[in-house]
Structure 1
Amino acid sequence: MRHDLTTLNLVLAIEQTRSITRGAAQEHLALAAASKRLSDLESRLGVQLFERRARGVEPTEAGRALVRHIRSLHASLYALETEVMEFSRGIKGHLRIASNTSAIAECLPPYLVEFSQAHAQIRISLEDLTSTEVQAAVAEGRADVGIFTGPVQDNRVQTWVFARGRLAALVPLKHPLANREAVSFDDLLAYDLIGLHAGASAQELMREQAAARGQTLNARLQVRGFDGIAQLVESGLGVAVLPEEPADRFTRVFGVRALRLEESWAERDYYLGVLRQQRLPTVVQRFVDTLIPRDKQ
């Protein structure tokens, strides 16, 4: 079934203005022509898209669903136009990567450097999301590649484990635990915890582990970014759990101590995910090849 962009843009304009008259004017259409386009579209789809009311129109459930798809189509068309125009500037592709904060801080940068050096004409964009959001972005086509920690939640996403990391505890230098080499999660639960925003994989993991012990996580402060966490820990406002590599780096910058977290769940797999399909786009396949040997794919 074919739909022309003029009619789809009209639907979007009507939804935005809540008026067929104003929507028609916004799209530079005569009211009669706009009404016929809308009526014809509703007939082809077999559903009513708008409910006519005294003060205008309201989209039906079907209308709202169509509007979501139209907005997604607009985003895809914009991306298509932008990417094609980049060819005139020597850019030969665009790779959209969504990654969780831990991977960006712990394991992803060397792979990005390797890929960029091998494919200088491919533009990379990187978005920082939670692991759940990363998987949704890949499954819905808003990202070409996702980097995240488990669990894998969406079977539309094909995944490979490409790296492993550990979580560590971060405490102030004068903290009662600072003279230890390692701590358990039970040790940390006695103190206020500073963590990432709700939805971050490490934060949710700690919440689950606390609940399994019949305790509540004392999440005193939640911030975006590991740097902010380290500064708050240095200030003595609490302790934190974060990836081992950035934790070690922070000991050279802030007045903090990184301790080994003696828990089985402290060791985590990092996943590379792409939309499950018969053949990957060339740019995506090249990035997969950078992270995963061919014999492991």
Structure 2
Amino acid sequence: MRFDLVDLRLFLLVAERGSITHGAELAGLALASASARIKGMEERLGAPLLERRRRGVVPTAAGQALLHHARAVQNQIEAMTGDLAAYATGLRARVRLMANTAATAELLREILPAFLVAHPGIDIELDERPSHEIAQAVASGAADLGIAATWAGLAHLEQKPFFIDRLVVIAARNRPGLEGRTVNLTELLGESFVGLSTGHALQEHIARQAARLGGRCAPAAHGRC
């Protein structure tokens, strides 16, 4: 049993006006065509949808059930049309945003809700990914925007600073040689670190930098490197 959208709209107009003639006029159909469509709907259903009376027509029990669903479908179509029209006129947009773990957990948690409230016509589709995957996704068009670390190979992409996230070493207050000065990674390569979990994008970046500088920094079972 299949009813197309023209059938449903016609039946809705006929039932609301109580007249096949008036319903056909509003639907832009000839009376003969409208009558044939309604008859076809009744044949496919196997039950009458309208009760013919002297002053018009009224829905049968089956017609009342169809009327309920036809109204729901019509409302959905109107809502869909409104949404699509907003996109077509530039009043609504969907942005595919990819961000690394640091940005998602620490930065966007506060920034994004305020942005969405201020710009109700923009939908943000947020996806958390490692920085190198974000660079690839933006380059291929799989994402519109990305928030990634600068080490992720962004030279071929347009870049704008979003946030400076500095890495620091936490050590005992009385540890010799660390008091009141900036420390380079090369000075600490011989030390044992409590790092992030295996496979974490930031931990992998630190390990690569350590290897490039001639040291070694790889997480072990208990997060040491």
TM bin, normalised by shorter chain, reads 0.3 to 0.5
* Structure with more contact order per residue of length (Cα contacts < 8 Å, sep ≥ 6): 1
TM-score scaled to structure 2, two decimals? Answer: 0.47
Larger-gyration structure (1/2): 2
Q: Which has the higher strand share?
A: 1
TM-score scaled to structure 1, two decimals? Answer: 0.37
